[in-house]
Structure 1
């Protein structure tokens, strides 16, 4: 089995290779099955998270898979199916901590682990049950400029949002987001990709997830936070069924991200984990708002 350092390096090399080719590997040209989940899923239906989402998106983009369900060779066999001869699997990881028996009384001595294993897209497998494939539907030809699902999601976070001007940014001092007028965007795809990027920055405020957002443009700290926000936006767009197509700042940002990734092979995994936390945080705000809507008086009730 590969050691943990080799696994980190393989993942980082994959991301760097895509970035050096001028491709942001977390952006996929979604097509085909509109009813298929945009977040990759296991054979059980459980969604992958963090760095595994990126690794499977990269593989799907490279090989043109339209389905987003993945499973191990053994899982395919257990279903009476078979991976086609010559098919190449995709690396995913399982990560967590464990405590050796002799240290079970000391929680601070838990040891992190990262284990790599191989999965295959269902399109690489023969004789799978029909339930693993989505019916093909044509994507509507006319874009919808106002997506109620995303608007509701944004509203339920409680973020202070203002449209006007020409810049998109999160302003820490006033703890709000400024967006250009809606008509300045080419489509709802560009608008919501940008908005969810800025909301990901918003999640990192000290009184929320408390990420380090002190860096200036060109610094490593700034590059890392931008990478976290872009990854989080890509996760959120997938969750909400929106194509992710961020602002065209490719050259400067790719250069800064490559520098960070080449200096620290764990950086992309850490960034993906923090991006997942940002997306999770914004989703959690939805639940609290739903409870308040269902019971307006509950929040003020006392025991």
Structure 2
């Protein structure tokens, strides 16, 4: 098993390298195949989660993959396919716990582990069954300014959203989200990326997921929750099938994130896990709303 500290460091180094180059690896614009899932998926169709989503997005952007399905070398062989010679795989991780034999009688003695392994994009593999390759499809010629699926999703969260402000923010004291007028945004992509970012902050309230929202701009806690909120927005945009482009994250934000990541190699993994929890929480609220409407 690879040393757990080495795995944390390799992941953090990858993200830091992208940020220092001015690239936010969680931003996923549309690619050529609009029917290909924006959330990375395993060969089984199961969606990756947390930090694995970021690692696969980074690789997809670096190498220009349009497909978003990944598998191990062995899985490709089992399908009668073959990874092309010279192809470089991408690191993903598996979380788990184990209990040493001498501690089996103690319920609190389980030890967490993080195991790294390598996967390949289906575009790196030859002779795969046709079901793994999406048919080419042209992007719509004109932008859609009102996306009903996202509007419904936001409504079902129960968040109070008020348009008409001069900036976008979550206000803990009012427990609401303030947004500029819709026509102030350059596009629906910018609007929804920003709105879902603020809903990411909204999940952190004490009576929801109880994250630390007390920090001011420039503080480590502020930078940490900004990172959680942006990753939440990126996960939700992928789940809802819309592009993610917040635009307003300036060099100051990138610098603050870099400081956090360089000071704590676990920070990006923690942020991704919290963002996944926030996204899961918001999806769960969709189910609760549907259940109440059906009752």
Q: TM-score, normalised by structure 2?
A: 0.99
Equivalent residue, structure 1, for 2:62: 62
In structure 2, what is the equivalent of residue 29 of structure 1? 29
Query: Secondary structure of 1:95's match?
Result: strand
Q: 2:115 is paired with a residue of what secondary structure?
A: strand
Partner Cα separation in structure 1 for residue 197 and residue 37 of structure 2: 21
- Alignment correspondent of 2:293: 293
Deviation of 1:249 after TM superposition, in Å, equals 2.6
Q: 2:260 maps to what in 1?
A: 260
The aligned counterpart of 1:195 is 195
Deviation at 1:105, TM superposition (A): 2.8
Does structure 1 residue 250 correspond to structure 2 residue 250? yes
Runs of 4+ deviating beyond 6 Å: none
Deviates more, 1:275-284 or 1:29-38: 29-38
1:154-185 CA-to-partner distances (Å, cap 9, x unmatched) read 01111111100211000101101011000000
Question: What are the Cα deviations for residues 83-136 of structure 1, in whole angstroms up to 9, with x where unaligned?
Answer: 000000000000122222332332221101000000000000000000001111
| SS of residue paired to 1:164 | strand
How far, CA to CA, are the matches of 2:165 and 2:77 in structure 1?
57
User: How far apart are the structure 2 equivalents of 1:106 and 1:205?
Assistant: 34
Secondary structure in structure 1 of the residue aligned to 2:26 = coil
Aligned positions of 1:88-237 closer than 5 A: 88-237=88-237
Secondary structure of 2:165 counterpart: coil
Distance 1:208 1:248 in 2: 26
Give 3-state SS (helix, strand or coil) of 1:97's partner: strand
User: CA separation in 1, counterparts of 2:54 and 2:218?
Assistant: 24
Contact 2:28/2:234 (CA < 8 Å) preserved in 1? no
d(CA) in 1 for partners of 2:105 and 2:159?
43
Alpha-carbon displacement from aligned partner over 1:278-300 (angstroms, at most 9, x marks no partner)? 000000000000001111xxxxx
Task: Work out the CA distance in 1 between the residues paired with 2:232 and 2:221.
Answer: 17
1:15-70 CA distance string (max 9 Å, x none): 00000001001112321111110000000000000000000000000000000000
How far 1:216 sits from its partner (Å)?
0.6
Q: Which residue does the alignment assign to 1:50?
A: 50
- Summarize deviations over 1:243-288 as a string: whole Å, max 9, x none: 0000323200000000000001000000000000000000000000
Tell me how large the CA RMSD over aligned residues is: 0.8
Paired residues in the alignment total 295
